[in-house]
Amino acid sequence: QKEVEQDPGPLSVPEGAIVSLNCTYSNSAFQYFMWYRQYSRKGPELLMYTYSSGNKEDGRFTAQVDKSSKYISLFIRDSQPSDSATYLCAMDSGAGSYQLTFGKGTKLSVIP
Amino acid sequence: DVKVTQSSRYLVKRTGEKVFLECVQDMDHENMFWYRQDPGLGLRLIYFSYDVKMKEKGDIPEGYSVSREKKERFSLILESASTNQTSMYLCASSPWTGTYEQYFGPGTRLTVT
């Protein structure tokens, strides 16, 4: 079983829809969770950062962590064509290795 | 804002050439990383460095070496480029303590012909 599983998509939604992106993981030691957005032919940019369980909101974006289920989600409200990108989840145990474990990314297209 | 820059956006090299990819970060981060990203394979860690002159192998170090002579600069070296090293190369940096998020550069698209 891979450490982090992420549906590659592609996911296509109409403008204005609520988008749900998800990752599951197997390592119960993970405590730090990140979401990156990567536009085509660009480097990933950090979108959301969450420590341990719970929700974090930033504008139209909400990151949710459920450690009991080993499941993290990114919700995008009122999706825009500019949200079209690949979204990667990443996580770390905080044990000092400083190496993130990444999902392979979900490609999202928001259709006007 | 953290800024990570990479020396080239696009690079075309011939098989057997020695290739240098340069990365510079301006946030005084201790940790720096080199990844390659290929369709269907995601991000794969090549090497990372947690201090000047220190380096650790990642998941796919074969065919690559690195150099970190100054804190802000981390170089990836392809000793003898091969066609299977055609890829997008991404550099990242992160602080030593507190949080673990990494900040990425724009990437270098390397084609080896």
Tell me the per-residue pLDDT of A54-64, one tens digit each, with 9 for 90 and over.
Answer: 899 999 999 99
Q: What length does chain A have?
A: 112
Q: And the tokens for A87? A: 């979204």
Q: Chain A contacts of B100, Cβ < 8 Å?
A: 32, 34, 92, 94, 98, 100
**Strand duo B108-112 + B10-13: pairing:** parallel
Q: And the tokens for A88? A: 């990667």
Q: Chain A contacts of B88, Cβ < 8 Å?
A: 41
Compare A93 and A85 and report the one with higher pLDDT: A85
pLDDT for A85: 97
pLDDT for A34: 93
Residue A70: closest CA among A19, A3, A10, A17: A3
pLDDT for A104: 93
Cβ–Cβ gap A43/B100 under 8 Å? no
C-alpha B58/C-alpha B67 separation (Å) is 14
Tell me the per-residue pLDDT of B23-70, one tens digit each, with 9 for 90 and over.
Answer: 999 989 999 999 999 988 889 999 999 889 889 999 899 999 999 999
A27 neighbors A93 (Cβ within 8 angstroms): yes
Average pLDDT for A85-91: 95
B44 neighbors B58 (Cβ within 8 angstroms): yes
Contacts of B54 (CB under 8 A, 6+ apart): B68
Q: And the tokens for A68? A: 């009991």
Average pLDDT for B7-14: 95
Q: Chain B contacts of A36, Cβ < 8 Å?
A: 104
Compare B79 and B98 and report the one with higher pLDDT: B79
C-alpha B32/C-alpha A79 separation (Å) is 33
Q: Is A75 on the interface with B (CB under 8 A)?
A: no
Rg of the Cα trace of chain A? 13
Question: Which band of pLDDT confidence, cut at 50, 70 and 90, is reported for residue B96?
Answer: confident
Chains A–B, number of C-beta pairs less than 8 Å apart: 51
* Start-to-end C-alpha separation, chain A: 37
User: How open is the CA angle B38-B44-B45, to the nearest 5 degrees?
Assistant: 145
Whether B98 shows a pLDDT value over 70: the answer reads no
Whether A1 shows a pLDDT value over 70: the answer reads no
Q: Chain B contacts of A46, Cβ < 8 Å?
A: 101-103
C-alpha A98/C-alpha B32 separation (Å) is 10
pLDDT for A54: 86
The number of angstroms, rounded, from the C-alpha of B25 to the middle of its chain's C-alpha atoms is 12
pLDDT for A100: 86
Residue B105's Cβ-count burial label (10 Å; 0-12, 13-18, 19+) is: buried
Least confident of A41-45, A92-96, B99-103, B108-112: A92-96
Three-state SS at B97: coil
- Minimal Cα–Cα distance from A70 to chain B, Å? 19
Cβ–Cβ gap A42/B103 under 8 Å? no
Whether A67 shows a pLDDT value over 90: the answer reads yes
Instruction: State chain B's mean pLDDT as an integer.
Output: 93
Whether B97 shows a pLDDT value over 70: the answer reads no
